[in-house]
Chains A and B, each alone.
Chain A
């Protein structure tokens, strides 16, 4: 095996698997196979997040991202965001189902009180119910849009996140359809983030797993090195420790340590998902 290694250039982005792998949905393309019964990773507590925020401040982390599972299932989520916004900008990735008007109002309050930006990303997998519900579950399209609209009405402009399971989202005309949908909801400045799929977890069952050639080799190292990979500037905290990136949390071998200090070294790009990040130029950041 000649697996290339990526070095950590600077720890700019720290992720928290704040909702664990627990989700109120069980999307068929979820690369971490989240569901109501997946307790591979559990919720992070405010105390745990604080411990990592302290360490992250010493390392000069630039921004914080929260995902799951569904972050808003975590009963401490708003307190966690408040603690985070005291030290840096925060982005939450949510499925939108728990974004009722009261929740959106308190998020807006947090954003208004903070010195740093708060962004909310809402996932949807099609611009109509038929395509979205096939992936995210029956009836979810309408509920997601209600959540997005609640955010908008509270004065927060969501970033709509779509995966390439929706093939049209790759093209400009396909993106236009999402923009049109959002504008029809009164969101005048629609924002869209499109992510490729990782053929692991539930998605491996839905769309097929990686083939053996889909691996990075030493000779794949680009001229500028691996700095374009997010693992050159990020780490992921879960209740089980610190992982290399947000994608590989269901691979114990991708765990790098218990504290951030443990994880400042290099990581072997041995997983097929690393190939996707390289070939598609993936960043999970907004």
Chain B
């Protein structure tokens, strides 16, 4: 017998033992389930089966505006409300994360109410309304978490109990009909408020199953901060509306929102850039002594924090 487990010389490793290859292979062959072809087909079918969702259906509309991640950017919020009206939106939806990064979080509240914005809770609202000690953004890197903490603490300290309670009254998802298409509006994904749906890590087969399970013709989400749109082979749509709170890490200072409209051929999806008073925002952030890293992003269009969560492709397009 060899002394070391790593010196096999034709033997197999079974836990901490070395055994003849044939012994391991035999044990493996006998382990686990071997379903019949019919049982396998049934298992695959059940797996993708729709889950019941009591969310009421809103609409139908012929044209709506959708935006995500306000991040206390009341300048961009005011702008997007005007732009949505100018473009004939019959309803305006916000996908959550009203606070973070930006100054004076409570300023967005009257704008949302007066603008009749139909919002859902993001992870920020869930955390603030329930008194959580962190934003539950889902970051894994210590530097990302450091800046996430600064921004969450500031937002929590500068939001009134009334505002936080109002956040808690917002639904977690909405279903909206645009033309004959039924759209599911969520913050992260239909599965988790803080799941990141980036373009390069949200493959078509995954999205198709997600749509099957949630019985809808389209999903609208945010949370990543980066906008994208994918029309699936089934004709359904997944739209990450991006965020109006900070630019999209591409060196441009504008932010992004989405317009959706009923068209004869189906759903029209437009992702649109939005300019706002970014210098005003930067000045107010400095007055509030928010980290210069956050201000830099507003002024340059490049992210300086929350970068480690980016997948390889999105990170390669990033400056930092």
A residues bordering B, Cβ < 8 Å?
A: 10-12, 21, 26-28, 30, 32-35, 37-40, 55-63, 87-89, 111, 115-119, 155-157, 172, 175, 189, 191, 200-202, 204-205, 209, 240-242, 250-259, 261-265
Contacts and interface: CB of A to CB of B under 8 A. Distances in A.
A209 B32 CA distance: 26
Interface in B1-33: 4-10, 12-16, 21, 24-25, 27-33
A87 B10 CA distance: 36
B6 A26 contact: yes
B200 A117 contact: yes
Chain A, interface SS category: loop
Given A242-B32, A255-B28, A201 B13 contact: yes
A60 B206 contact: yes
Contacts of B24: 40, 250, 252
A187 to B, nearest CB: 13
Name which of A59, A63, A252, A259 has the most chain B CB atoms within 10 A of its CB.
A252
B6 A252 contact: no
A177 to B, nearest CB: 15
Contacts of B4: 26, 202, 205
A253 B29 CA distance: 10
Contact of B32 (A10, A28, A262): A262
Interface stretch (B237-245, B260-268, B305-313): B305-313
Given A39-B8, A59-B47, A189-B320, A88 B13 contact: no
B34 A240 contact: no
Contacts of B35: 257, 259, 261-262
A30 B7 CA distance: 12
A37 B205 contact: no
Contact of B311 (A12, A117, A250): A117
Contacts of A39: 8, 10, 12, 21
A89 B203 contact: yes
B200 A60 contact: no
Name which of B28, B34, B48 has the most chain A CB atoms within 10 A of its CB.
B28
B200 A38 contact: no
A258 B200 CA distance: 30
B104 to A, nearest CB: 32
Nearest to A188: B320
Interface residues of B, number: 53
Contacts of A61: 205-206
A172 B142 contact: yes
B283 interface: no
Contacts of B27: 252
Given A116-B203, A119-B312, A200-B15, A205 B28 contact: no
Contact of A157 (B8, B191, B315): B315
B208 interface: yes
26 contacts: A33-B6, A33-B8, A33-B13, A39-B10, A40-B8, A40-B24, A58-B48, A59-B48, A60-B207, A87-B203, A117-B314, A172-B142, A189-B315, A189-B320, A201-B16, A202-B6, A204-B5, A205-B16, A240-B29, A241-B31, A250-B12, A250-B14, A251-B15, A252-B24, A252-B27, A264-B43
B313 to A, nearest CB: 4
Contacts of B40: 259, 261-262
B299 interface: no
B5 A205 contact: yes
A62 B34 contact: no
A205 B7 CA distance: 12
A257 B33 contact: yes
Contacts of A250: 12-15, 24
B12 A58 contact: no
B201 interface: yes
B113 interface: no
A28 B5 CA distance: 9
Contacts of A56: 205
Contacts of B57: none
A242 B41 CA distance: 17
B191 A258 contact: no
Interface in B282-320: 307-308, 311-316, 320
B32 A257 contact: yes
Interface in B203-231: 203-210
A28 to B, nearest CB: 7
A35 B6 contact: yes
B5 A33 contact: yes
Contact of B206 (A88, A119, A205): A88
A252 B313 CA distance: 37
Contacts of A254: 31
B7 A35 contact: yes
A115 B14 CA distance: 39
A41 B22 CA distance: 12
Contacts of A116: 200-201, 203, 313
